[in-house]
Amino acid sequence: MSDTIFSKIIAGEIPCHKVYEDDQVLAFLDIHPISEGHTLIIPKEAAATIDALSDEASAAIGKALPRIARAVMQVSGCEHYNILQNNGVPAHQAVFHVHFHIIPKHADGSGLGIGWKSRDFDHGKGAEMARAMAAAIGG
Ligand code: AMP
């Protein structure tokens, strides 16, 4: 994987406003926040998208996320927030190192806006797809 701005932040070559760090995870403030307290959580493992992340790094991120969310809530004063994780250019990914956004939704309306257009559900196709996914996961 090529070097990204986030691997440079992990290496200490570029500064960040650090919120949390352990041996596998780093969290810091987003430099172009969409609301006050917008925070990024990244694994130190270099993977571009979450499907490429190891079980170990995923577990470390999963453990850190709720703790960081509580800190974001406490300090930013938000009661509500979104966790966003983009994979691929059409899915709005700009930095190709896995990252989770914690985005406070404040009373002034700032935060993540979502265009969520639900579609009809076909139970036949859905059952087939769920079976195929379960087989793909294996175990
Ligand atoms: P995404 O569209 O999910 O790839 O989001 C990448 C995020 O990284 C954006 O919200 C940027 O504002 C943020 N970002 C880019 N460079 C930096 C940086 N040097 N420090 C903090 N956040 C950054």
Q: Which of 17, 32, 92, 99 is catalytic?
A: 99
99 counts as catalytic: yes
Poorest-pLDDT segment among 1-15, 17-31, 90-104: 1-15
Q: Which overall architecture, per CATH, does domain 5-113 show?
A: 2-Layer Sandwich (3.30)
Contact 85, 55 (CB under 8 A): no
% pLDDT > 70, the chain: 98
pLDDT value at residue 79: 97
- pTM exceeds 0.85, yes or no: yes
> What digits encode the pLDDT tens for the residues 67-81?
999 999 999 999 999
**Per-residue tokens: 47:** 């993977």
Does residue 139 have a pLDDT over 70?
no
Q: Which atom of ligand 1 is nearest to the CA of 86?
A: 3
The amino acid present at 93, given as its one-letter code, is Q
pLDDT value at residue 97: 98
